[in-house]
Structure formats: structure tokens, C-alpha cells
Structure 1
Amino acid sequence: MELLFTGGRVLTIDPMDRIASGVAVRDGRIVAVGDSAEARAAVGPDAVHVDLRGRALVPGFCDPHNHFSMTTFEPRSVDCRTPPMAGPKQVIDAIAAAAAGAPDGQWIWGLGFAARNFEPSGEDLLHRRELDEAAPNNPVCVMDSSYHACYANSAAMALVGIDRDTPNPPGGEIRKDDNGEPNGVLWERAMDPVHHASMRSYIDTFGEDVVADLVQQNALRHLSHGVTSVGDALVMPESAEIYRLTDARGKLPIVIHQMRGGPGFFAAPEDAAGGAFMEDDVSDRLRGGIVKIFMDPVWPSPAMTVCHEDGTTEPVGDPYYGQEEVDHLVLDAASHGLQVAIHCIGNRAVEQGLNAFERAQREIPRDDPRYRIEHFSFATPEQIERARSLGVIVSHQPPFLNAIGEFFETRIAEAGLDSVPIPYRDMLDAGVFVASGSDFPCAPVQPLLGLYGLVSRTARDGRQVAADQAISPLEALRTYTLNSATAMFREHEVGSIEVGKRADLVVLSHDPTLVDPTYIQEMAVQQTYVDGDLLYSV
């Protein structure tokens, strides 16, 4: 099959940032890029002609940090998003309604409750007792929108053996009431058993065919936003299982790059690096070869790790690992030839991650390890320069600018940090290789919203967050396409519109480099192609 695109602006994101007007595709590969005449000459008279009518053609968006497997079950879960729900009472009512229609013993899984949107944000806003009343005959797990905490009822905790005598796991907290009983709020590693049990139950309850359909539906949702490649930032054994069964049924229309962790949500991956769980590429659509390590918690957890810059106060929070422990994890992965991505929110965690990568390259030197730090949220100027000198890829999530941009400024001020929130201008000027993703569902999945944030630096409350960190639309687009493809070792396949690459292409309603920055969030994805096949169109 042949395709011919003409009549618009083609943002190639090639090394010269060329703007073309024609693209030709044959059998899923790009065979010509240039003006309309050059493209037309590369295909036959029966080629399908796509008249762009002044619209823009860009490479398919690559999202290197996304929790795709977790959002797969949204259609079979209780919508607990706040907003649109006004608060905890409405969430409890929604759980009660779901439980009333569910068989006794079936798990009730709620998604999207955002504790950060309520004051005081660190309080325990969903209590075990309320969930018990809402679902007396069902185990309940309500995931916080951060995915670093969950809210469980008594039945759920009893199933996994959490009681008043259960100690806090390293890097986690089982919140207690005044009587010393678990109140249902499980932070970080403490949520592992409940999340694991609920996800396992969902797979077993719905069956493989339904699960494969849910994965396919989720892929189509991503395609509607122009996302053609996804890096799942936490693939546990259950996640790998649902991907394999979907791929085997031919229902995986996008490429999933699996970032493998341990057997639980925040579990150490040390047993996975050399085992069958840490397999390399399974198929053309299902990729592997990368280890995910969690270094520290997220806000509003009191354990988020930051160091005050003056050095006169104690560091805040404790990381999941000491330096020697994280060094061991990275060295183990490096010895197996694997890529490593470390989740680092606070600057203390960033420092440990950089130390581990530096040691790994010293002891097990590799030509192109592409070590990654995920988030890099409170990094200092010195750490930005160090990331550049070590060749570490920073994988950031620009939709947070819109979702919680005001929080970053507040938290940096409270902690007295010498940091800039989401410092894209500083990172790019320093020569840091930056890839952009979403962290969906923790932040919105739409790349266009991320582009808007990077260019306008506007938060949801209308304030500009570190306006001097704005970058150009073309720079922003590169971080979402070629740079993100490179972060997943796919730059030879996708990420730019060049001859020989896969025809993963997106038609946008407007050219983001020509419109007012405030309009970028109003733009629309109108068509998405994967390997030259039209998989989304409006």
C-alpha cells in the first residue's frame, strides 16, 4: 500500500529541522520526504492521497513514561477522579454504588482520587471505616492519583495480612488510627500487597479475552492523542502477562516498551535482571530490556527526599535504598546489558541516582547505556550539569506543569531549594538530553497539553511557572518525538519523518510552530497512522 501526503507543513524533526511539504509511504515505511513533486514521484498513481489542507504532519508521539497497564482497567473500575467529583464523600458514594452491583467477594477498584487537591493534602481523607460501610462484603482498593498510595477497607487488608502488628516496610507506611489499627491509608511500598492482589483478581475475574480487549481499547485511546509508542514505566509480572496475551491475539496496535520492576509495585528488581521475567523484545510490538528502580516517594508523602542547599539542616525523608544498595541494583542490570531508569523526585534521590550511574560506567563501562532519571523534579543546577557530563537522559513529564505546576513552586520555596520547577530551558541550554512523556494517569496523557505547558509555562490556575524556562514549539516537539524515541532505543525506527523510518505519523489541526502558544492546547489530533495504517481519524 502507498500513501501520499501533500498540501500542508511537514515538521520532519530531522537533524536540520527541515519543513517539507510532501511525504510518500510504501508498505509502512517512508520512502520520500521533500516537496510535493518529489513525494508524488516516489509512488504510483494508485497511492492513497491525503490532502493535508494546510494542516501539519508530525512524527507520532512517543511517551517514554506512562502507566499504560494500570489504566487498562479503567473501564471496569470505579471513577473516583477529583475533580469532577467534589470530594471524599462522593467517592465513598461511588464505591457503595459499585459494591451494590457486585458479587460478594469481588474486588472493587477505584481510580483517580487526588488527595493533593484537598486541604490538608497530607491528611487521611478516605478512612477504612467509611470504605467498610460502603462495601461491607467486598475488598476495596482506591488508588490515589499519584499511584504512590492507596486506600483499602478491612476486607482488602485482611486478605493480604495487614493488621495492627504489621510493620511498615522500608520506604512505606501503614497509617494507623488513634487505637493503633490500620486506618486503610497505605503509602508507597505498604500498598504493594493490596495493589498486587486487586490486579491479580481483576485479570482472573474478567478473563484473558476481556483483558486483551481492554488493552486494545486503551491503545486506541492513546492513538486518539497521537501517541504511537509507549514506555510502560512499571511492568510487574501481571502487567507482562496482559501484554503477552494481548500481543498473542494480535490486538496490540502500538509499541509497548516494558520497564520491568520487581514482583510488587515498588519492589526491588534485583531478582528480575537475569531471570525470565526480564526478557528482551518479545515481538515487534512488545519490547523489553529496561529495568525500573524507585528511589524515593512523591509529594504529599512526608518521605519525599530533599536536601536543603545550605547544608545546615537535616535532609527531609528517606530514600528507598542506601547508596550501596542502589549501586548494586544498577551494577547488576548493567552486567546483563540492560538499560536502567531510576525514579528520582527529590534532589537527594537524584544525587544517589547519578552516583549509581557514574559508578556503573566506571566499573562496567558501556558505549551507550542510555541510563535514565525519571522526573528529576527538584534537581539543582549542579545536578543538571552532572547529568550532562554523565550522558544521563532526563525523562520528564511536562503535563505536570498544567496539572500541578503551582505545587512545584510552593514546594521548592518551602524546602528552601536551589531548584527551578521543570527546568527545560536550563537543561537544554546545558546540553542535557531530555525526553518528554506523561506519567499518565498521574498527569494528563495528551502530548499537546505537554507542548502547551513547555511553551507557555501556564499552570491550571493561570499562573506562569518559571516563565524563563519556556522553550520553542519545535524544541518541545523534538522532546516528545525523536528524543523520546531515543530514550527507548527506537530512534532508528521512529521519532522523525525521514526516509526508511516507520510511517508513524500524526496529522494536527494546526502547526504548533505558527499558532499563538496559548492556542496549542486547543489544537486537535485529527489522524494517527502506525506503520502507514490509519488507526485514528476524526
Structure 2
Amino acid sequence: MPRPDLILTNATVLTLDAADTVADTVIVRDGVIAAVGSSTDLAARPDPGTAVVDLRGTTLVPGFVDGHSHSGTGGSLFRHAAVHAPPAGDVRTVADLLAAMHENLAANDPAPGERLVAWGWFPDDMDDGGQLTADVLDREFPDHRAMVAHVSGHGGVACTRILEDLGYLPGVPDPEGGTIGRYPGTDVPNGVLWEQAWTPLVFDLLAFRPDEFDAMLAEYARWGTTTVQDGAASWEEVQQMRAHAAASPLPVDVRSLVLFDELEVAIASGLVDTTVGGHTLQGVKLILDGSPQGKTAFLTEPYLTGGPNGEEDWRGLATMTPATTNRLVELAYRNRVQVYAHVNGDAAVDQLLAAHHAAVAAGARPHRRTVPIHSQVMRRDQLDGYAQAGFEPSMFTVHTLMFGDTHLRNLGLERASGISPMRSAIDAGLRPSNHSDYPVTPINPLLLLWSSVSRTTADGVVLGADERVTPLQGLRALTVDAAYQYGLEHDRGSIEVGKLADLAVLSANPLEVPVDEIRQIEVLRTFKRGVTVHEAS
């Protein structure tokens, strides 16, 4: 019998198998788990080629499986100015924001006329209201094309030169599915752009660069994440990423979702569900609406505080028409392409469910599980609709910490308390995953776990106590249930014989520490197929 190449022992092994077995030793052979159990029961004896790692009482869990984020483009943010408000950053005023941009300008020295980009603007949590317009950026950065992205990625502020580049001149109408802010009492754009008015900027600034991508994957590995999503990829990015993976196999697995407007190109390529060097073209990404913190999520009932540009009776924006949604869902189903759909508001959820039923009525069937991404401001009855349709939602519980106090103001207590209703989803028989949507919020899976168990806002308000899950349920959402959504439950997500040795070593057991300490747990080491891809210094 072949000898193992790795033995991990003296640990609390949370297997997350069907019985939630706890073991103390894992034996790995050729990157696959060969045995799990007690050190006294496992007879394997190491030979000189076997690495034996004494984990000294720490906790071993399956490698985290990323329910949704943007690994392919998130790395580009390393070179931009970070302007996040607390709790993600320390930008509290417009002066702080501008200072960060000036510092970034000095550090990177872009040529005159080039873009100067900041990311993370969230005026709702800034002490002075955080109001920005094009004239402020024009005054501060006259030699550059300055732009500031909202923390959601669904909007931002652009200087006058960028507005002119886009053709956003006085009197220009709002594009379908987008909105352009105006200076008071005029038809002159003030630089504040949302959704389809903003989209031409955001995808251009997030271009794929191999060095940034490598740095980004190292960051995921640092947080114990061994399967990563590239959650909105152009076809060009998919090709670049596959070429990069073919030349240098990736340290963690990456699953790309091609953007909806290039679905037909992806189908014609024959590359859907194929893997090269750890990169897989997983499916297609639809985007049906915006973000609740930006007040562009598409709702059936209006926001309590109006729209992002002061609109009255504001219910957000549908960024895709029902006809287009129906066409794309049926096209994907007929061609065996898994559908992931960004739906934040209940009106967007209704639109996705209607498209599914129309496709099924036309004789098409979903490939694997359709995954609604975010599912935040949704009605509880829609969870039954998910269950009936065979959907499995990927939820975003860290919103309760990052933006919960804003949701209370904009949505009121009842709707805000139902943000990402994970417990109700589980009670409805669903297997929700949980995600960071990085770079919208930090990657840290332990922070996501804490948020699902605590649901506490930055101001200390418990937002939806009845939607709290147990630590075990929260951990499963970040591992085996996330793998299930990808259709990968056969080879990852739990620590079982025959599955990949994708593992994370934690400084403490998240099932036993006090809830408030879960977010303080550190990832000490990450294994991908039994190979160390991160080790804390």
C-alpha cells in the first residue's frame, strides 16, 4: 500500500461530513485525503518521504469555498487609492478622501491626462456626509482624469473630462438602467453616476493584469480560501486568465463567470465547464439590478429616503429588461451553462424567477443549480420560490456590519432586518452559501462567519436576530454548501476520504469560542491539494 506524503495530526478536525464528525488526524496521499480519524486508530506510519505536521491543538477545517467575489479584477485595486469609511477604513471626511488620492497620485505619478482612481467611497458613513461632485475633482486634480468609485462598485463620481469622454454633456438623457446626477436647478451633469451610466468606467478600470492577479490569489490563500470565484469576467479576461493558468498553474482554483453580454461567445467557444491549470469557466453572470447601500437595488416598495440623486418614490433600477433576462436564462439553460444572477432587491428576484419559469415552460432546464447572488432586500415568500425552482442562493451577511445602519435608515427596520435571510433560507430547505463580494467587503471568511452568527451593525444594533445562524451552519455555508452550489460537492468542501486535501488551519475552533471572538480567529496555514500555499509568519 502506498505510503502517505502528508500526515496532519494533533488537531481538532471539523470534517463537516454528513454527521459533522470531529477527528484529530488527516492523512493525505497525492493531494487527496486518504484517511480521517483518530491518531490511535490510523495505522499509517511515516517513512522518510512523509511530512508529519503536528498542528499543536489548532483547528483544521476544509479550505474555504468562495461563494462570490471578483478575483480576476480585485487585484487592480492594489494600485488605486483606498477611501473606505469605517469599519473597513478610516476615511471620515471629504478632506480625508482627497488626501488619500493626493498620496496615491504622488506614489504612482500617472502621466498628465491619465486616470487617477479611488475606490470605497461611502458617503453614508462619513462624518461630513461625503458629498463629491465633478467640480471638486476638477479643482483638486486638474491634470488628471479623476474618478471615485462607490464602495458597491455600482456608481461613483467622475471629473468633467471623463464626463466629456463619455458624452455626458448638458441635457444628455439618463441611459436606460442608469442615472446621471445634475447640479441643482440645471441639466448639467455633476459627475455622480449610477449603474448603466457608470458601467462604462468600472469595467475599463478593472482590466486583467497577471501580476495583480497572482497577488490577489495569494491574498485569498492567506485567508484559507482554496476555491475562488471570478464573478464578472469579460471574454477577453477569461482568455487572458486561461493563458496565464496554462503557463503557470494557479495556487488555488478559480471559477470564472463570463458576463451576460458575451454568453453566446462563451457557448460558441466550447470552453464552458473546461479546466486549464486550475482555471474553470464555470458559467454566466447576469446583473439585474444595483446595490441597496447605493439605493439602486430594484425594489417593489420605495426607499424611505428617496433616490441617490434626490429622486422621489424611488424604487431603484432594473439594469436588465425582463425580455433580455428571459432570453439569456433560456439560452443558458439550453446550452448547459450554469446561471449566476446578481439580484439585490425583491423586484429583481421576481424578474429572475419569472425568467426561470418562462425558460422551463419553453422546455429548457437549468444546468446545475441557478445561483441568485446577494438576495438581500427580498421577501420571505421568495425563498419558497427559490426552493421550488431549485435555486441555491449565495448570501451576503457581512452587509449587516458594513452597511446595516444605512439599511435601517433607507429601508426601515422590517426590510433591513431581512437582509440576506440565511436562517430563513435554511429553514426553507435551501443550502445557502455566504460571500464577501470582494472588493466590496473584505475577503476574510471568519468575518463572514461572525456576521452570519451575530448580525450586528457597526453601531451595535442586532439586525434581524431571527436570521442568525449557528456557527456550524455558518461554517457549512462557507465550505460544503458553497461547493454544492458549484456542483463540486463530490471533491471539496468537507474533509472526507477521496476529496481534495484543500484545508485551512485556524488558531481557534469557531464552533466553541464566544461569538464575538470568531472574527478574531487567524488562518495559520492553507493547503491546496496537500501543498502549503500560505503559512503565517
Alpha-carbon offset, residue 137 of structure 1: 2.1
- DSSP 3-state at the match of 1:377: strand
Match of 2:162 in 1: 156
AA of the residue aligned to 1:190? A
Alpha-carbon offset, residue 490 of structure 1: 1.8
Report the more deviating stretch, 359-368 or 449-458: 359-368
Matched, 1:181 2:188: yes
- 1:480 corresponds, among 469, 478, 482, to 478
- 2:298 corresponds, among 281, 305, 315, to 305
Match of 1:116 in 2: 124
Match of 1:206 in 2: none
Match of 2:201 in 1: 194
Match of 1:132 in 2: 138
Match of 1:102 in 2: 110
Contact 1:297 1:304 (C-alpha < 8 Å) held by counterparts: yes
Alpha-carbon offset, residue 307 of structure 1: 1.8
- 1:289 corresponds, among 282, 295, 310, to 282
Tell me the C-alpha RMSD between the 2 structures.
2.6
- 2:94 corresponds, among 72, 88, 92, to 88
Cα distance, 1:187–1:492 mapped onto 2, change above 3 Å: same
- DSSP 3-state at the match of 1:442: coil
Q: Distance in 2 between matches of 1:367 and 1:357?
A: 8
- DSSP 3-state at the match of 2:297: coil
Q: Distance in 1 between matches of 2:26 and 2:459?
A: 40
TM-score scaled by structure 2?
0.90
Match of 1:492 in 2: 490
AA of the residue aligned to 1:96? H
Match of 2:328 in 1: 329
Q: Distance in 1 between matches of 2:249 and 2:271?
A: 22
- 2:513 corresponds, among 508, 515, 538, to 515
Q: Distance in 2 between matches of 1:164 and 1:241?
A: 39
Report the more deviating stretch, 34-43 or 440-449: 34-43
- DSSP 3-state at the match of 2:11: strand
TM-score scaled by structure 1?
0.89
Matched, 1:403 2:402: yes
- 1:68 corresponds, among 53, 62, 71, to 71
Matched, 1:16 2:19: yes
Match of 1:207 in 2: none
- 2:435 corresponds, among 434, 437, 443, to 437
Q: Distance in 1 between matches of 2:457 and 2:295?
A: 24
Q: Distance in 2 between matches of 1:21 and 1:315?
A: 55
Alpha-carbon offset, residue 282 of structure 1: 4.3
Segments of structure 2 that go 5 or more residues without pairing to the other structure are 303-311
Q: Distance in 2 between matches of 1:135 and 1:238?
A: 32
Contact 2:386 2:392 (C-alpha < 8 Å) held by counterparts: yes
Q: Distance in 1 between matches of 2:115 and 2:249?
A: 26
Matched, 1:146 2:145: no
AA of the residue aligned to 2:212? L
Match of 1:208 in 2: none
Q: Distance in 2 between matches of 1:337 and 1:277?
A: 11
- DSSP 3-state at the match of 1:41: coil
Match of 2:256 in 1: 258
Match of 2:316 in 1: 317
Contact 1:379 1:419 (C-alpha < 8 Å) held by counterparts: no
Match of 2:306 in 1: none
Q: Distance in 1 between matches of 2:411 and 2:271?
A: 37
Alpha-carbon offset, residue 434 of structure 1: 0.6
Alpha-carbon offset, residue 327 of structure 1: 1.1
Contact 1:24 1:40 (C-alpha < 8 Å) held by counterparts: no
The alignment of Structure 1 onto Structure 2 pairs a total of residues equal to 518
Q: Distance in 1 between matches of 2:447 and 2:153?
A: 21
Q: Distance in 2 between matches of 1:403 and 1:442?
A: 10
Percent identity of paired positions between Structure 1 and Structure 2: 28
- DSSP 3-state at the match of 1:257: strand
